[in-house]
Amino acid sequence: MSEPTTRILQAQPMMSMLQDDLARDYFVVPFTATDSAADLAERGRGVAIAVTTGEAGLGAEQLRALPDLRAIVNFGAGYDSSDIATARRQGVVVSNTPDVLTDCVADLAVGLVIDTLRRVSLADRFLRAGHWANGPFPLAARVTGKRIGIVGLGRIGLAIAHRLRGFDVAISYHNRRPKNDVAYDYLASVEELAAWCDVLIVTAPGGPDSRGLISADVLRALGPAGYLVNIARGSVVDEPALVQALMDGTIAGAGLDVFADEPNVPEALTGLDNVVLTPHIGSGTVESRRAMADLVLANIQRFRQTGALVTPVPEQPA
């Protein structure tokens, strides 16, 4: 068997199932966020395709050091870690892996809603610590019948709404613009949506346009009986404001799968009983990750054959 000749830049580290596939079919040139532009320019000379993740990405300086780059293939739905504006100015196309992770992320979002309101994780800790012998566990909040607000009614937002309808909830949403093909009510601002709902679920894409979208004002509008669930990007939420809101009772609780500076989580959050924390596991199933890896490989193959991508990212998120 001949050695692979097509060279591909690959962010390190990456899941073994994809890393092994890439190493089998291509000559992999690794890079990290700490590589200097000069080093990257030397190793990336003539390389047209880079494979990266939602956490790694390619910044503006790195992109300028790679004039031969023509495609960024993301392993994940998020692509805000790369400077998309600079990429497009340089004629670099970008893909991600939508749809294949939608179900698993939506499943986790619903799980966080249930866990946060019913306090399942806290009840587990209560029992394991032997506190049940001293009295019953405190009452929690029910999920059925709640008003659910969804920030970002894209693929994942719609999948979450579909699942939650079985709980007889009312659903409203906020997007950049209303959707004409859904029956849910559109509210013109995130703050208005927060004031209306009992549970605010964040599925909006990351990036500079959505940074801090869930602000202190939004949390105040959500109120002391309201809950926040974020399975989108940590950057979408003003994290210091959220910590303060959870500590002082501005909101009732939160379920968080994403954080502003992963894998670093504010120590104040880990000490709170009114928050459920998971380590960015939305797409963390064997089925989703295999499908994501296959879609990365399909994007690379399609680009090599035609110069196009199977799943190019939209010009502007919904």
Q: Is 141 exposed, middle or buried (0-12, 13-18, 19+ CB in 10 A)?
A: middle
* Pairing verdict, β 71-75 and 253-256: unpaired
* CA nearest neighbour of 194 among 179, 210, 216, 178: 216
- State the angle between helix axes of 102-118 and 120-128 in degrees (0 to 180), rounded to the nearest 10: 60
User: Active site includes 280?
Assistant: yes
Peptide bond into 208 cis (omega under 30): no
Helix, strand, coil share of the chain (percent; to 5): 40, 15, 45
User: Active site includes 233?
Assistant: yes
Contact 109, 87 (CB under 8 A): no
Residue whose entry in the numeric block shows the structure tokens 């079919």: 25
Residue whose entry in the numeric block shows the structure tokens 């190793």: 43
Kindly name the residue from 42, 45, 89, 262 that is annotated as catalytic.
Answer: 262
- Measure the CA–CA gap between 72 and 93, rounded to whole angstroms: 6
Kindly name the residue from 280, 290, 302, 304 that is annotated as catalytic.
Answer: 280
Q: Which residues contact 129 (CB under 8 A, 6 or more apart)?
A: none
Residue whose entry in the numeric block shows the structure tokens 């929690």: 140
Q: Which residues contact 102 (CB under 8 A, 6 or more apart)?
A: 155, 156, 159
Kindly name the residue from 119, 155, 233, 289 that is annotated as catalytic.
Answer: 233
Q: Which residues contact 295 (CB under 8 A, 6 or more apart)?
A: 97, 100, 310, 311
Catalytic residues: 233, 262, 280
